[in-house]
Amino acid sequence: MKNNSKYTKNKDKWLDIYKICKLKLHQLIRAIISLIGKNQNSKPNILQRLFRNFRTKKTFGFKNYQRITILDKYILKSFIFSFFSVISVLVLVIVGRLFVKLLEYVVEGRFEVEMIFSILFLSTSKSVILLLPFALMISLIISLSRFYRDSEIFALKSSGNYKSIFTKVFYFIAIPSFLLIFILNIFVSPYLIAEIQKKKIEAATTSEIGLQTPGKFIQMKDKNWIIFVEDYENEISKKIFIKSSENNKISIETAEEGNEYLENGVRRLILKNGQRYTGSPGNGNFQVMKYDVHEIKLLNTTPDFSLNYRMKSIFDLFSDQNKALSSAEIQWRLFAPISAVILILFAFIFGDVAPRQNKYSNLLSAIIIYFLYSNLVIISVNQIQKESYLFSLIGTWWVHLLAAITCYLIFIMKKNQIDGYRYLIKTYKYFKK
């Protein structure tokens, strides 16, 4: 049975809105007619009056967004807390993964220990910029889910301006996020990639191959070497063992002492009082060579530094001759800011859960959507680089459009309180008829 008071209240409300819209429409028509009928000198005053009336329209609600209420601050504070929590977790995961990888490079002799922290900071910053849209979506879902967990969302809905509150919150989150991610991804990220490359080259010029770490077997993947030093004293490595393999041949080398030095960008290893065994496994024809001094060329440490497309500025990309690679890079950089807005919309939808539903049940759906979204963009960018005619024509815009349409369809399904399976079955039966 309907609540008559509630029904009457809603009816009166919509009648008032209808009357206001009708009155405003008539006023606008009269203003346009007067604008056409008046002479040229009266046009500026009328235009100013029209602009003044348009600016003060309460129906648009833009004027209300200028004020931040206590409730807005509370919602934004909850979101900011969740955002920094998610970012902290992501940073810890990224740092842990990169740190282990860089330690392997140090053990292999590619990097010096002093270079780890600078490369770690630059690489982490680059990865965080790329993951900012994902962090925004997850943190917003967590924040909204907490409102449902604490039953605060029902108090907001009963206040009467539930939609306007979250519309304002959306503007306060989406617009600054888009601008910030746009600046970071367009201008800052190429600089970070270039600096990482420079640091790696610098690390290659100063790296040791492990002669200063006695008592450990060190593997160099680049040269298929295994090095062992028994002792290191007075900047001289003693009791050196080196095993290398190349073209189905094994070489085992021992030396009483040795050292390495850099000359003209080439790193060289000097071994003294040693012998070398060379041969193929399974054959007894090993060659033995004894020597007093043996010099080995290790690595050319002055590789050419050239800007690839990931390091170029946005202005250089627009003027680049290779349109396929430049277009692919531009659209890849635009992915993060555009996806931030779309993923925030997804977050508002997935954050709205049923009363008896698990408060974090939609997190998995959001992660799957982000995974599909990002991978479709990566596939499109790769096809643009390969100069595929279809993808060169439509670019990555079809992915953003598909994501926006998917977001709208999910919103419609949640609004009508029907699940996806029933909706698909109903649509299939409709088209089958």
CA angle centred on 119, ends 260 and 338, rounded to 5°:
150
pLDDT attached to residue 343: 92
Q: Which amino acid is at 339?
A: S
Give the confidence band of 416 by pLDDT, cuts at 50, 70, 90. Answer: low
Q: Which amino acid is at 320?
A: D
- Distance from chain centroid for Cα 312: 18
**Does residue 228 have a pLDDT over 60?**
yes
**Which of 376 and 2 is assigned the larger pLDDT?**
376
**Does residue 373 have a pLDDT over 90?**
yes
DSSP notation for 129-176: HHHHHHHHHHHHHHHHHHHHHTTHHHHHHHTS-HHHHHHHHHHHHHHH
pLDDT attached to residue 13: 66
pLDDT attached to residue 428: 61
| Tens digit of each residue's pLDDT (9 = 90 or more) over 298-349 | 654 444 445 577 888 888 888 877 888 888 888 899 999 999 999 999 988 8
Instruction: Collect all residues with Cβ–Cβ distance below 8 Å to 164 and sequence separation of at least 6.
Output: 61, 64
What is the rounded average pLDDT of the residues 78-89? 89
**Which of 277 and 175 is assigned the larger pLDDT?**
175
pLDDT attached to residue 43: 44
**Which of 18 and 420 is assigned the larger pLDDT?**
18
Instruction: Collect all residues with Cβ–Cβ distance below 8 Å to 360 and sequence separation of at least 6.
Output: 141, 142, 145
The whole-chain average pLDDT of the chain stands at 75
pLDDT attached to residue 46: 47
In this predicted structure, which of 21-25, 30-34, 300-304, 346-350 has the lowest mean pLDDT?
A: 300-304
Highest mean pLDDT among 124-138, 162-176, 218-232: 124-138
Give the confidence band of 215 by pLDDT, cuts at 50, 70, 90. Answer: low
pLDDT attached to residue 391: 80
pLDDT attached to residue 372: 93
Q: How far is CA 324 from CA 2, 40, 186, 292, 309, in A?
A: 63, 52, 18, 57, 11
| Tens digit of each residue's pLDDT (9 = 90 or more) over 259-268 | 776 666 566 7
Instruction: Kindly report the number of other CB atoms within 10 A of residue 148's CB atom.
Output: 18
**Which of 215 and 146 is assigned the larger pLDDT?**
146
pLDDT attached to residue 208: 53
Do the Cβ atoms of 109 and 207 come closer than 8 Å? yes
Give the confidence band of 417 by pLDDT, cuts at 50, 70, 90. Answer: low
Say how far apart CA 51 and CA 246 lie, in whole Å: 80
**Which of 277 and 17 is assigned the larger pLDDT?**
277
pLDDT attached to residue 39: 45
The tokens of 188 are what? 């800052």
**Does residue 241 have a pLDDT over 70?**
yes
The tokens of 389 are what? 């005619």
Say how far apart CA 376 and CA 361 lie, in whole Å: 24
Instruction: Collect all residues with Cβ–Cβ distance below 8 Å to 206 and sequence separation of at least 6.
Output: 112, 115
The tokens of 204 are what? 């290659």
**Does residue 427 have a pLDDT over 90?**
no
What is the rounded average pLDDT of the residues 55-71? 54
Give the confidence band of 55 by pLDDT, cuts at 50, 70, 90. Answer: very low
